[in-house]
Chain A
Amino acid sequence: MMRTLIFRTVAPYLTSLMLVFSVFVLLRGHNAPGGGFIGGLIAASAFAIYGIACGVSPVRRALRLHPTTIAGIGLLLGSVAGLISLFDGVPFMTGLWIYPHFFGVEVPLATVMLFDFGVYLVVTGTITAIALVLEEREGE
């Protein structure tokens, strides 16, 4: 835990900015560089920064779920994304699309995206779990 005033003041804003950016990178990843893995790394570094600035327990409180639980949910989402194709009569992991309209704007949604979101959660959860444990050890 670093007790510099500037860092501790900036860290919450930096963390939220990085989390928003990680979601942007995740969604951008379908057609451009980015995706669940790199997005998850950015999110995990956001939590790590918050942990360095303010200590590990505020991060754990803010996350509500244990990081490995987040990883578990991500793994479940990824598997479910693959299984959806069972109901459409196509092989496992086939990308399926729906095009709902929100306020007149067509928003394409895909099982691929769901899978990528699962990857995002797995990476976020795993790396955050490791980072938080390492930071805790350092604080001892």
Chain B
Amino acid sequence: MIMHAPPLADWLVIAPIVLCIVVGAGLLCVRKTVAVHAAIAIAGLVLLVVLDAALLWHVANDGPVTMTMGRWLPPFGISFTVDLLGAVLALVSGIAALAAGLFGLVDVDDSGKRYGFFPFLFLLMAGVSGSFLTGDIFNLYVWFEVLLIASFGLLVLGSEQGQIDGATKYAFLNLVATTLFLIATAYLYAIFGTLNVADIAEKARAMDDTAPLATLGTLYLLAFGMKAAAFPVNFWLPASYHTPRIVASALFAGMLTKVGVYALVRTLVMLFPSERAELAPVIAVVAVLTMAVGAMGALAQSDIRRLLGYVVISGIGIMLVGVAVAGEGGIAGTVFYMAHSIVVMTALYVAAGMAARAVGAPLSITDLAGLYRSHPMLSALSLMLFLSVAGLPPFSGLWPKIMLVRSAIDAGSSWLGAAILVNGLLTTIAVGRVWVLAYWQPAPTPGMRREKPALAIEPGFWTEYLPLIILTGLSVVFGLFPEAMVSASQQAAVGILDPASYIHSVFPAGAVP
């Protein structure tokens, strides 16, 4: 048993998750009283960001932090271990969730709120935070289930036919992926007899050649690749991301695929490095094909939400390059790109939602026009996001791409770097098309193409511009002052490639079982 009292700061490890569950449960109790949702939810999300920031500060100062539940000794108790990778991603997703929560206040109507938008949002965040913070692989599976169930709820929030259709595809394919994850985990338990990540990391290095770890690595690659929407198992994403309320799309596009990439980094890079090296050619091909599919799909679509869905996919391809190349630069690039992608993809969906509300038209680039003239502020923010997602300076997409291209060239696979650059060009064209057609092109003169729509709603500051400004501002800060983020992701990469400090935090002073 653990006899010493954990310092109060260590409680930060589980604080974000407990907060999300408690606030979510509280909101569930007052589900029908829509009037109180806004205050509780926004206060909860602000507190979540504060707790995540405090946790990041704690981890950055004191190294990985562990709390093992119920005073059991690891590896028998369930450990929550937070290293820099988990803390950074948890904070960035917390900020994205705050922005989405603010936008959700107006994007989700009262019946959607009664149906439980905010409880689902908090349960989703419990799942996302739990995935980033846990140090136990079965527990990771549990948080995957939590965020999946919450996302099912968010997907059907409106009960339209298209939503049910999208939700069915999403639910079925994601359940296949989590079942694969579960099978792989059962297999892992049979090999190692432990589920604690730190314990596995140590044992895997000791029994490199004696255990069938390649099979295990492949299973995890397939399961998490499916979650991350990597080619050839990416088809569920474009089939479902355009159907829910746009704020739900924003949350999903921001976080869920990134959780898949995070799990891939955690298992393949940290636990099974030599198996990752064997699989590297496969991952590299998958990365390039994912980028290609994403960019081509984005070029072919005219519905903005579908288009953005493909942009998400092409970003996944870029992140996978880091996993394929590995090395400090590659992993650091992936970590930075994940943070960038969480911020920018959430923001892009929020901006698309605002544009659709402002014009009162469906989200097709052939219907939207003249936004530049009617909403210059929104157009300016959108343009920044378009440049950012395409990886152009001075926004956040640039630096992780530089890191990834450079590490690919250093690793001798320049074709991967070239693929990133070509993908950047194609993404620029795809989002440039949106900019030119939906924003820049003057609106048709009244009576020529369509009448003044009745449903146009002027975007408000607190619930629409503010979240967009928060996220775009974060992208600009990452772009203009990248040093902090670069060094954080490099340290996170070092911690992943050499998990000694992670293991030490779980088993201090050689208390290995």
Q: Do A and B come from one complex?
A: yes
A93 to B69, CA, bound (A): 6
Q: Smallest CB–CB gap between B40 and chain A, Å? A: 12
Partner of B25, one of A72, A83, A93: A72
Q: Smallest CB–CB gap between B114 and chain A, Å? A: 11
A104 to B22, CA, bound (A): 37
Q: Interface of chain A, helix or strand or loop or mixed?
A: helix
**Chain A neighbourhood of B69, CB < 8 A:** 91-94
A66 to B125, CA, bound (A): 24
Q: Decide: A91 and B26 in contact? CB cutoff 8 A.
A: no
Q: Decide: A68 and B28 in contact? CB cutoff 8 A.
A: yes
**Chain A neighbourhood of B27, CB < 8 A:** 72
Interface positions, chain A 52-97, Cβ under 8 Å from B, are: 66, 68-69, 71-76, 79-80, 82-83, 86, 89-95
Q: State the total of A-B contacts with C-beta under 8 angstroms.
A: 60
Interface extent on A, as a size class? 20 to 34
Interface positions, chain B 2-54, Cβ under 8 Å from A, are: 2, 5-6, 11, 14, 18, 21-22, 24-29, 31-32
Given known A-B contacts A79-B18, A83-B18, A89 and B5 have beta carbons under 8 A apart:
yes
A92 to B78, CA, bound (A): 10
B68 within 8 A of A: yes
A77 to B116, CA, bound (A): 20
A73 to B116, CA, bound (A): 15
Q: Decide: A69 and B18 in contact? CB cutoff 8 A.
A: no
CB-nearest residue of chain A to B67: A91
Interface positions, chain A 86-135, Cβ under 8 Å from B, are: 86, 89-95
CB-nearest residue of chain B to A65: B29
**Chain B neighbourhood of A73, CB < 8 A:** 25, 29
B70 within 8 A of A: yes
Q: Decide: B29 and A91 in contact? CB cutoff 8 A.
A: no
Q: Interface of chain B, helix or strand or loop or mixed?
A: helix
Q: Decide: B22 and A79 in contact? CB cutoff 8 A.
A: yes
A95 to B70, CA, bound (A): 7
CB-nearest residue of chain B to A90: B71
Q: Decide: A75 and B25 in contact? CB cutoff 8 A.
A: yes
Interface positions, chain A 5-59, Cβ under 8 Å from B, are: none
**Chain B neighbourhood of A89, CB < 8 A:** 5-6
**Chain B neighbourhood of A71, CB < 8 A:** 28
Q: Decide: B67 and A72 in contact? CB cutoff 8 A.
A: no
A74 to B18, CA, bound (A): 14
Q: Smallest CB–CB gap between B129 and chain A, Å? A: 14
A86 to B116, CA, bound (A): 30
Q: Decide: A79 and B11 in contact? CB cutoff 8 A.
A: no
A72 to B67, CA, bound (A): 26
Q: Smallest CB–CB gap between A125 and chain B, Å? A: 9
Q: Smallest CB–CB gap between A6 and chain B, Å? A: 37
Q: Decide: B25 and A94 in contact? CB cutoff 8 A.
A: no
**Chain A neighbourhood of B29, CB < 8 A:** 69, 72-73, 76
A64 to B32, CA, bound (A): 14
Partner of A93, one of B21, B26, B32, B70: B70
A93 to B116, CA, bound (A): 28
**Chain A neighbourhood of B25, CB < 8 A:** 72-76, 79
Q: Decide: A86 and B11 in contact? CB cutoff 8 A.
A: yes
Q: Decide: A72 and B71 in contact? CB cutoff 8 A.
A: no
CB-nearest residue of chain A to B6: A91
Q: Smallest CB–CB gap between A124 and chain B, Å? A: 14
**Chain A neighbourhood of B14, CB < 8 A:** 92
Q: Smallest CB–CB gap between A120 and chain B, Å? A: 15
**Chain A neighbourhood of B31, CB < 8 A:** 66, 68-69, 72
CB-nearest residue of chain A to B3: A90
Partner of B70, one of A68, A74, A83, A91: A91
Please, what's the 1-or-0 string for B107-129, where 1 marks a CB less than 8 Å from any CB in chain A? 00000000010010000000000
A95 to B71, CA, bound (A): 9
Q: Decide: A92 and B32 in contact? CB cutoff 8 A.
A: no
Partner of B24, one of A75, A80, A91: A75
Given pairs A91-B71, A93-B70, 13 additional interface contacts (CB within 8 A): A72-B28, A75-B24, A76-B25, A76-B26, A79-B18, A91-B2, A91-B67, A91-B69, A91-B70, A92-B14, A92-B69, A92-B70, A93-B69
- 29 A/B residue pairs, CB under 8 Å, sorted by A: A66-B31, A66-B32, A68-B31, A69-B28, A69-B29, A72-B29, A73-B29, A75-B21, A75-B24, A75-B25, A75-B28, A76-B22, A76-B25, A79-B18, A79-B21, A79-B25, A86-B11, A89-B5, A89-B6, A90-B2, A91-B68, A91-B69, A91-B70, A91-B71, A92-B18, A92-B69, A92-B70, A94-B71, A95-B70
Q: Which 7 pairs from chain A and chain B are nearest by CB?
A: A72-B28, A89-B5, A75-B25, A72-B29, A76-B25, A93-B69, A93-B70
